[in-house]
Amino acid sequence: MTTPTGNDNADWAWHPQLPIENSPIFRWPPRLTEAIRYLLGRGFLLSRAPLYAALALLSWLYLLPPPAQWKVFASSWIARVYALNLGLTILVAGGLHLYLHACKRQGDESKFDARELNRSHPRFFAHDQVLDNMFWTCVSGVAVWSAFQVIVMWAYANGVAPWLSWGDSPVLFLSMFLLLAFWSSTHFYWTHRLLHCKPVYRRVHSLHHKNVNTGPWSGMAMHPLEHVLYLSNIFIHLAVASHPIHMVYHMYMQALGPLFTHSGYGDLIINQKPVIELGDFHHQLHHRYFDCNYGTSVVPWDEWMGSFHDGTPVATRRLQQRQFEKRSSPAGTR
C-alpha cells in the first residue's frame, strides 16, 4: 500500500489520505462530475454494495425458502433463514478475523491501530474481546436480524409489504439499491445520536463501545436493545415498495457490513494488492473519540450537524477542547 500523504496523523499506525471527505452527492452548489465519479467508484459500484447485491440474488435464487412458505410462520423455514444468516456471519467475521488477526496474512499493512485485540481485560466476557464480541453477535445480533427479516418476509407473502417487481419499473428496481444506502445512512445517524444520550449510552450503547480497537467480530457486538434499534430500518419495506432481493440486500448491508467496517484494516490485501476496501476510517474515528462521526460519509449528517471529524490532528484538538468544555460544565457528561 502507498503511504498516506497529506495531513498525516501520528496517532494512527495507518490511515487513508487526510483529510477524509464526505460524499460529494449532497454538496451545494452541485458537483455533478464529482458525484458521478463517486458513484462509479468506491462510493457505490466499486464498494461492497455489488457484493451484497450479488449475495442477495444468490440467496433469493438458491438459499432462502420459497415465498409460498412465507405465508404462515413455521419453524422449518424460519430455522432456514436463521441458519443462513448465522452461517454468513461466521463465514465473513470468522474469515476476516482468521486472515487479518489470527494468521496475520497481511501483517500490519493498512492496520489502523497498532495494538492487538484485547485477550485479557475484565470488561469482556471471559476477559477476551473476541469471545465477548462473538457472543453478542451470534446470540443476539443474528437472532434479531433473522426475526425482523422473517417478519418482513411474512409481510411480503401476505400483501402487507408492497412488492416491486422488475417489470413494474426497471429503473426504480435498480435505483432501490442506491436509495437504501441513503436511507440506512440517515437512519444510522439519528438512532446513533439517540444511543449516545447519557442514560441510553450507559445502559445499552456502552457495550459496543468497549471496543475502542475493533476487529471483525466487533461490528455487530451490541446490546440486544441496540440490535433492535439499529436493525429496525428494515421496516421501511413495509411502507415503500421493494422486492425481497432489496430487503435481503439491505440486511446484508446492515448486518454483514459492520463486520467489514470494524475489521481494523483499511483494505484487504492479497499478493501485495488491495482487493477490497474493508475498514471505515470515518467510523474508526468514532470508536476512538466517541463524540464525532455518528453517521457515515454517504449522507453527510455529521457535517451538517457539526459532529464531523476529518481525521486530522487539528480536528482532534478541536474535539478534545469541546469535550473538556463539556466536562467542565455544571451538567457534566456521561
Question: Is 97 contained in some domain?
Answer: yes
Supply the pLDDT for residue 10: 84
Alpha-carbon dihedral sign for residues 208, 189, 53, 235: positive
Question: How far is Cα 68 from Cα 21, in angstroms, rounded to an integer?
Answer: 46
Contact 293, 302 (CB under 8 A): yes
pLDDT, tens digit, for every residue of 169-223?
999 999 999 999 999 999 999 999 999 999 999 999 999 999 999 999 999 999 9
Question: Is 2 contained in some domain?
Answer: no
pLDDT, tens digit, for every residue of 117-127?
999 999 999 99
Supply the pLDDT for residue 124: 95
Which domain, by its residues, includes 292?
A: 24-328
Question: How far is Cα 282 from Cα 292, in angstroms, rounded to an integer?
Answer: 9
**Is pLDDT above 50 for 4?**
no
pLDDT, tens digit, for every residue of 76-119?
999 999 999 999 999 999 999 999 999 999 999 999 999 999 99
Number of domains in the chain: 1
Contact 208, 222 (CB under 8 A): yes
**Is pLDDT above 90 for 9?**
no
pLDDT, tens digit, for every residue of 132-152?
999 999 999 999 999 999 999
List beta partners, residue 276: 268
pLDDT, tens digit, for every residue of 243-275?
999 999 999 999 999 999 999 999 999 988 999
**Is pLDDT above 70 for 2?**
no
Contact 60, 248 (CB under 8 A): yes
Residue 334's pLDDT band, with cuts at 50, 70 and 90, is: very low
Supply the pLDDT for residue 208: 98
Question: Is 9 contained in some domain?
Answer: no
Question: How far is Cα 177 from Cα 301, in angstroms, rounded to an integer?
Answer: 20
Question: Is 19 contained in some domain?
Answer: no
pLDDT, tens digit, for every residue of 289-311?
999 999 999 999 999 999 999 99
Question: How far is Cα 271 from Cα 68, in angstroms, rounded to an integer?
Answer: 46
Supply the pLDDT for residue 327: 83
Contact 171, 165 (CB under 8 A): no
Question: Is 12 contained in some domain?
Answer: no
pLDDT, tens digit, for every residue of 19-59?
999 999 999 999 999 999 999 998 999 999 999 999 999 99
Max distance between CA atoms of the chain, in angstroms, equals: 61
pLDDT, the chain, mean = 94
pTM of the full structure:
0.94
Instruction: Find how far residue 225's CA is from the centre of its chain.
Output: 17
Question: Is 6 contained in some domain?
Answer: no
Angle of CA points 19, 274, 15, to nearest 5°: 25
Question: How far is Cα 155 from Cα 24, in angstroms, rounded to an integer?
Answer: 36
Question: Is 52 contained in some domain?
Answer: yes
